[in-house]
Every structure is written in C-alpha cells, then in structure tokens.
Amino acid sequence: MNIINFTPVSAFVGGSLIGFAAFLFFAFNGRIAGVSSIASNSIIKNENRFDNILFLLGLIIGPILYSLSGKEIESVLTNSLPLIIIGGLLVGIGTKIGNGCTSGHGVCGVSRFSIRSIVATIAFIITGVITVLIFGI
C-alpha cells in the first residue's frame, strides 16, 4: 500500500462545510441532509418537493460559485459508459432500498450514533473497496 494524492487539509475544510450545511438544514428545516433521500423524494413524494428541488439546485450552484472565484475544479471521470450506467442504477436502487448514502448514513447517521447508519456505512465502504479491488479501476 502506498499513500498518494493525500490532501487532508482541503478534505477536512470541505468536510466541515458539509457538516455545517447539514446542521443548517437540520436547524432551519428540521430534516436530515441525506442527498439520496432528498433527490429520490423530489421525484417520488409531493411533500416538501420544492424544498428538495431547491436543495439540489444549491448543490449545483456550489461548485459554480467556487469556480467564479477563479479556482479550477478537478474532476476526472474516465470509466466506460457501461460502468457508469450500471453504477448509476446500483447507486439509485441501493440508496433507495437502504434509505441513505454517504451523506444520510455516512455523515448524518453516524453523527447521530444511529446503529443502522453505522452498519450501512461499514457495508458500503467495504463493498466499494472490494469493487475497486476486483475491477481495478
């Protein structure tokens, strides 16, 4: 094992902002900032639909604001299209059935000491590691 591309400071600062955004959403809207639930509910449920769509719109505006400051955003996605399609489907179905993703379970759920979220987070990280090990991307 070699350590590469390690950027602990920007990771920690960005992570803190994510945590703060989740706190704002909790304090003002009383809800958990789980992106998979917000996104899936925006197409499935009428309740809070407009709030959900505005949160998603905010997610898109965030990087645009960042790039207005003149900084480059690095984003490399070179996987083949079949992997992208299967990946998208699995992420969609999996987070719907499992009630959460990296934000809802990984950040908010673990922060609330939810046993379901802790188990889910361990499960999806291990599966992610095994998948990368097998497909060697």
Partner 1 sequence: MLKLSSLISGIIFGLGLTISGMVNPEKVLGFLNIFDAWDPSLMFVMIGAILIFSPLHFIFKRKSRPIFAKNFVVPSNNNIDKNLIIGAVMFGAGWGLSGLCPGPAISSISFLNTSVYLFVLFMFLGFYLGNIIQSRK
Q: CB burial class (10 A; 0-12, 13-18, 19+) of residue 93?
A: exposed
Measured from the CB of residue 70, what is the shortest distance to partner 1 in angstroms?
13
φ and ψ at residue 68, rounded to 5 degrees = -65, -25
Assign 79 to helix, strand or coil: coil
Among 46, 68, 70, 75, binds partner 1 (CB under 8 A): 75
Measured from the CB of residue 34, what is the shortest distance to partner 1 in angstroms?
9
To 10 degrees, the CA torsion angle through 117, 119, 120, 124?
A: 140
Q: What is the DSSP letter of 93?
A: H
Instruction: Give the interface size with partner 1 as a residue count (CB under 8 A).
Output: 110
Among 8, 46, 68, 70, binds partner 1 (CB under 8 A): 8
Q: Which is nearer to partner 1, 46 or 83 (CB)?
A: 83
Q: Mask 51-70, x = binds partner 1 (CB under 8 A)? A: xx-xxxxxxxxxxxxx----
How far does CA 45 lie from the centroid of its chain?
A: 20
Taking the C-alpha atoms of residue 107 and residue 37, their distance in angstroms, rounded to an integer, is 14
Q: By CB under 8 A, what part of segment 23-52 binds partner 1? A: 23-33, 35-36, 39-40, 43-44, 48, 50-52
Measured from the CB of residue 126, what is the shortest distance to partner 1 in angstroms?
7
* Binding status of residue 72 toward partner 1 by CB under 8 A: no
Among 46, 68, 70, 79, binds partner 1 (CB under 8 A): 79
The token duo for 91 is 């992420």
